[in-house]
Amino acid sequence: MSGMYWVLTTLAVAKKLDTVQRDQFLDFIDECWDSSSGGYSACPGHDPHILYTLSAVQIAATLDAIERLPSDDIVRYVRSLQNPDGSFAGDRWGEVDTRFSFCAVATLALLGRLHLDDNDNDTDNSIDLESAVRFVLSCQNFDGGFGSRPNAESHAGLIYCCVGFLSVVRRLASIDGDTLAWWLSERQLPSGGLNGRPEKLPDVCYSWWVISSLTMLGRQRWIDSDRLKAYILASQDVETGGFSDRPGDLPDPFHTVFGVAALSLLGEPGLLQVSPTFCMPQQVIDRLGVTSQILS
């Protein structure tokens, strides 16, 4: 399911959505739906999980087919995964991680079912937002970064999830953005590429997680964009057109979508504008009437 999201999003951002078989994507989503829980699985016959549920909603939204989805059941599934401390489990087996907090609010927002306003009457479909925010904020570390749980090591992928969560729920002002942006800007290496943690190799997928977080925080200029762009382009395979984790390695759809999405945020011409919060074309987000907080 996530593979289909990576491929579809790449094509959409590259303005090639007309090349896909729309019905094949939508039929696949239907086959992965679990009617008893309301969630979606990675592929037919597997257990549902909140990650694949978000991917299914992102695919349907990009294909302008969100009204086809069983929204009430998906909301029921997301709600069923929230724990008393505000955190979310990924599935019924109970693993807890800040990634799943992002998946929960992003899924609800794309469905138009995230209620941020106390005056909103339709509160019976909402999650416990305040405890969800408290849990994510409790995962910010002394270095400004976020980990998977309270006191877990700062990691750029999880920072994207936590900053994205706070962007969706419009609470970015609750965190120390300067210290966080300092930690993120320290991820740039002499090659121009970005790593996900100190002492790690640069990797194109971290281009996305770091640059999207800095963009949401209004601090994209804290890294050298030209050198990052050059590093991403050097990771494109000249035979297949795909992107790999670093120059010379084999390309894959995962690094391709995050490389292309990062290039879009860096202003590469010929690409659709990408939402730094949702990693989807901004025009899809606008069409749905979904708003997220981006600091200037």
Hey, which residues between 51 and 110 contact Zn ion (CB under 5 A)? none
# chain residues binding Zn ion, by CB under 5 A: 3
Q: Residue 5: left (phi > 0), alpha (psi -120 to 50), or beta?
A: alpha
User: Which CB, 159 or 205, lies closer to Zn ion?
Assistant: 205
User: Which CB, 25 or 209, lies closer to Zn ion?
Assistant: 209
**Cβ contacts of residue 24 below 8 Å, gap of 6+?**
none
Please choose, out of 25-33, 67-75, 196-204, 224-232, the segment that lies near Zn ion by the rule CB under 5 A: 196-204
CA 176 – CA 8 distance, rounded (Å): 35
User: Which CB, 91 or 245, lies closer to Zn ion?
Assistant: 245
CA angle, 120 then 125 then 129, to 5°: 70
The nearest distance, CB 245 to Zn ion, in angstroms, is 4
Q: Indicate the residue whose CB is closest to Zn ion.
A: 205
The nearest distance, CB 210 to Zn ion, in angstroms, is 12
User: Which CB, 229 or 255, lies closer to Zn ion?
Assistant: 255
In sequence order, which ranges of the chain are alpha helices (DSSP H)?
2-13, 22-31, 50-62, 71-80, 98-110, 129-137, 156-168, 177-185, 204-216, 225-234, 253-265, 282-288
Hey, which residues between 265 and 294 contact Zn ion (CB under 5 A)? none
Hey, which residues between 199 and 258 contact Zn ion (CB under 5 A)? 203, 205, 245
CA 151 – CA 143 distance, rounded (Å): 11
Hey, which residues between 158 and 177 contact Zn ion (CB under 5 A)? none
User: Which CB, 48 or 145, lies closer to Zn ion?
Assistant: 145
Q: Which two tokens stand for residue 81?
A: 């995964």
Interacting residues with Zn ion (CB under 5 A): 203, 205, 245
